Amino acid sequence: AQFITWATSKNYIDMVAKYHGWAAIPPGTRKSTYQNPHYLKAAPFSQFVLSAIESADLRDSTVKPGAYHEMQYVGIPEFPAIGDQVGLEVAATLTGKQSVRQALAAAQALVLEQMKNSENSGYFK
C-alpha cells in the first residue's frame, strides 16, 4: 500500500515531470493531473484518456458482447505477478523478439508455475 500511495502521489508526478517531462507521467493516477496546464499542454491526448477513464463501463468493456464481463483483472493475490510476466511476453512479441506462438507457450508455462507454487494452495489438486 505504501508503494501505491507514493507512486500516485503529487510529489511523484512532479518528480517524473521534472526529470522526464509532463508527457511521461503515468496516466490515470491522479484526477488533478488532468487539470494541470503543463500536462494539458504536453499531452494533447489527455482529455481523451480522461474521458475514456470516466466513461469506462466495468460491466460492458468490450466492443462485441462476450461471455465475460468486467475489466481485465482477476481478484487473486497472484494476478499482479502474472500480469507483469505475461505483459513481458506480449512486449517481446510486439518488438519482434519472439513469435505469438512462443509468447503464448511461455505465458502459459509462467502462469502454471506461478499457480502451482502459490502460497494459496488449492488451485491445482
The answer to whether residue 123 scores a pLDDT higher than 80 is no
pLDDT band at 53 (very low <50, low <70, confident <90, very high): confident
Amino acid in position 13: I
Q: How does pLDDT run across 63-73, given as a tens digit for each residue? A: 777 666 666 66
Lowest mean pLDDT among 7-21, 37-51, 61-75: 61-75
The answer to whether residue 104 scores a pLDDT higher than 70 is yes
Q: CB of 17 within 8 A of CB of 38?
A: yes
The answer to whether residue 76 scores a pLDDT higher than 90 is no
The residues spanned by each domain of the chain are 2-55, 62-125
